[in-house]
Amino acid sequence: MSDTPIPISTTLRSPAAAETAPRSASEAAPASKISVRDLSFFYGEHQALYHNDVEIAPSTVTAIIGPSGCGKSTHIRAYNRIFELYGKDRATGAVLLDGENVLGPDVDVIELRRKVGMIFQKPTVFPQSVFENVAYGLRIHFRLSRAEMAERVEKALRAAALWDEVRDKLSQPGAALSGGQQQRLCMARALAVEPEVLLMDEPTSAIDPVATAKIEDTVQDLKASYTIVIVTHNMQQAARISDYTAFFYGGRVVEFGPTRQIFTKPNQRQTEDYITGRFG
Amino acid sequence: MKRRSRELRKLKDLLVKLCSMGAALTGIVFLFWILSEVAIRGGSALNWALVTETPPPPGGTGGGVAPAILGTVYMMALGALLGVPPGLLTGVYLSEFARGNRFGAIVRFMINMMMGVPSIIMGLFVYAVLVLTLGHFSGYAGGVALALLILPIVARTTEDMLALVPNTLRESALALGAARWRVTIGVVFRSAQSGLLTGVLLAVARVSGETAPLLFTSLNSPYWPQSLNQPTANLTTTIFNFAMSPYHSWQATAWGASLLITAAVLLVTILTRLMLQGSKR
């Protein structure tokens, strides 16, 4: 962080509401969209996560903050089992999505990933047209007529606040858009399959401030219908857009609670040190 | 403490620079020497008959290498048909499914070995397996020998090209619920498209200049190729035979054929270069 401390409480979005409701894991459990229970993660021999417990309420934005290499991304990559691309990595414990453990052996991973969408750090536009990028997921999961397809692509692009900018460019290659537009195209692509949860892994770290602001606005609009978990390096961003914040350090969840509480009166010394910029 | 001399450092720097530049220039000089020799000697043998007529009789004048051009094209097509698909699939296996697994490492090692096998050994192998069992030389055997040379090159370049596709792209497709085969074909292949095509074309261009694998397989023939089930005329063996002959007219024809094959390989190489540049934009 920078040397000058930024009065982070002034950027907090939700004022008193969250403050009055301190949550403990047991209290919130029944209402949780996602319950992470004792999640540990191993990259081959190396353990990256230790006994993570997190409860994520539906229709909220949860930010995950912490220094580089603390396991933030690793943590959310267990939610959609995307880590399975690499053979030797494994997760233990449970990630309950609506009460069902997504790490279980009988889970239909394809359906899981429809329900749990993901946005990555850098825009990952496929080498296809704007339209085909958004249609990619739809073609996997649904059999749609041409008209239905066009309708759902438009809806997804609108949800990602991109429609007005690309409505005349649908047949152009996705790679021709600007970086910020590409990232929103990726959001539209993820939203098109109508997920319930949206995981965002440092979605604005590779794009400029104006585009970042647009994405943050979009996140606020999406909150009503989706449960959003966002990993971010940017603490102002966490303070601006999230309802809950988890602070990770060394693969452990050091503190988890309402964002306002984490940023104004954290219970843990480590959290306070990180937030005030003393390390990290 | 004594400071190191600045002049000495600069001198060493200059020396290394000159040496490496000299070495690079030597290579280029030879390339241009070869090209100019082929162009001058081949150019004088170049005429319409060279690409339209059958070879002249020993000592005779005129004629050309048209059957050999056709035979080479046929056998290269057969070789590409047999060698490229398994090569591509092997590359896909190595890059997409065998990252860090033991069997993949073994396959990768074998492919490297196969690439290092001298082409004449490939020819001998096909001679033993196909020519001896069938009882005669044939264009088919030639095509198979070329395929065996093409396969490992395509496998290697395919793996290399697919490895250049960033993992985040695979992850994004998987994260949308795409199955592995869909990710490979729809996203990874599409991203690496121009690289894959380049790999295939370069492999074909490289192998098209091979003589040794054809010597014992397709042999050669002065006649138009009627069927690939008989000895088949081809450019490289024709060059070999004609160049070694005592007849001046044959030697001239060999130079002409050399120019043709060099120009073709050069053209393919330049075309793929241009294609790669075009796709990068």
B172 and chain A in contact, CB less than 8 A:
yes
Which backbone phi and psi does A23 adopt, to 5 degrees? -110, 140
Tell me the shortest Cα–Cα distance from A52 to chain B, in angstroms: 22
- Edge to edge, what strands does the sheet with A252-258 contain? A116-119, A197-201, A227-231, A61-65, A244-249, A252-258
| Contact predicate B93/B156, CB 8 Å | no
| Alpha-carbon gap, residue A7 to A3, rounded angstroms | 12
CB count within 10 Å of CB B266 equals 12
| Contact predicate A166/A98, CB 8 Å | no
Residue of A nearest to B98 (CA): A87
| Alpha-carbon gap, residue A58 to A68, rounded angstroms | 27
- CA B175 remoteness from chain centre: 39
Average pLDDT over residues B203-232: 90
Assigned fold of A24-275: Rossmann fold (3.40.50)
| Contact predicate B75/B137, CB 8 Å | no
The pLDDT of residue B90: 96
Q: Answer yes or no: is pLDDT of B61 > 90.
A: no
Question: Which sequence spans correspond to the domains of chain A?
Answer: 24-275
Q: Answer yes or no: is pLDDT of B70 > 60.
A: yes
CATH 1.10.3720.10 assigned to B52-280: yes
Residue whose structure tokens are 């960033």:
B166
Condensed to tens digits (0 to 9), the pLDDT of residues A60-84 reads 999 999 998 899 999 999 999 999 8
B278 and chain A in contact, CB less than 8 A:
no
| Alpha-carbon gap, residue A241 to A238, rounded angstroms | 6
A111 and chain B in contact, CB less than 8 A:
yes
Query: Quick check: B168 and A122 CB within 8 A?
Result: yes
The pLDDT of residue A8: 53
Condensed to tens digits (0 to 9), the pLDDT of residues B91-113 reads 999 999 888 789 999 999 999 99
| Alpha-carbon gap, residue B281 to B276, rounded angstroms | 9
Which backbone phi and psi does B255 adopt, to 5 degrees? -60, -40
Tokens of B169: 């792209």
Q: Answer yes or no: is pLDDT of B236 > 80.
A: yes
Report the 3 state secondary structure along chain A: CCCCCCCHHHHCCCCCCCCCCCCCHHHHHHHCCEEEEEEEEEECCEEEEEEEEEEECCCCEEEEECCCCCCHHHHHHCCCCHHHHCCCEEEEEEEEECCEECCCCCCCHHHHHHHEEEECCCCCCCCCEHHHHHHHHHHHHCCCCHHHHHHHHHHHHHHCCCHHHHCCCCCCEHHHCCHHHHHHHHHHHHHHCCCCEEEEECCCCCCCHHHHHHHHHHHHHHCCCCEEEEECCCHHHHHHHCCEEEEEECCEEEEEEEHHHHHHCCCCHHHHHHHCCCCC
Residue of B nearest to A135 (CA): B176
Q: Scan residues 185-244 of A and list those with Cβ closer than 8 Å to B.
A: 186, 189-190, 193
| Alpha-carbon gap, residue A72 to A39, rounded angstroms | 12
Q: Which residues of chain B are within 8 Å of residue A141 when distances are taken between CB atoms?
A: 177
| Contact predicate B139/B74, CB 8 Å | yes
| Contact predicate A185/A65, CB 8 Å | no
Nearest neighbour of A140 by CB, restricted to B99, B167, B178: B178
Question: Which sequence spans correspond to the domains of chain B?
Answer: 6-45, 52-280
Tokens of A144: 């749609």
Q: Cα torsion for B64, B67, B70, B71, to the nearest 10°?
A: -130
Question: ipTM value of the model?
Answer: 0.84
Question: What's the mean pLDDT when you consider all of chain A?
Answer: 87
Site from B97, B161, B169, B172 to mutate, A interface, most A CB atoms within 10 angstroms: B172
The CA distances from residue A18 to A12, A200, B51, B278, in Å, are 11, 22, 85, 55
Tens of pLDDT along chain A (280 residues) come to: 444 445 555 555 544 444 444 444 444 445 789 999 999 999 988 999 999 999 999 999 999 999 988 999 999 999 999 998 887 889 999 999 999 999 999 999 999 999 999 999 999 999 999 999 999 999 999 999 999 999 999 999 999 989 999 999 999 999 999 999 999 999 999 999 999 999 999 999 888 898 899 999 999 999 989 999 999 988 899 999 999 999 999 999 999 999 999 999 999 998 998 988 877 5
Q: Which residues of chain A are within 8 Å of residue B101 when distances are taken between CB atoms?
A: 87
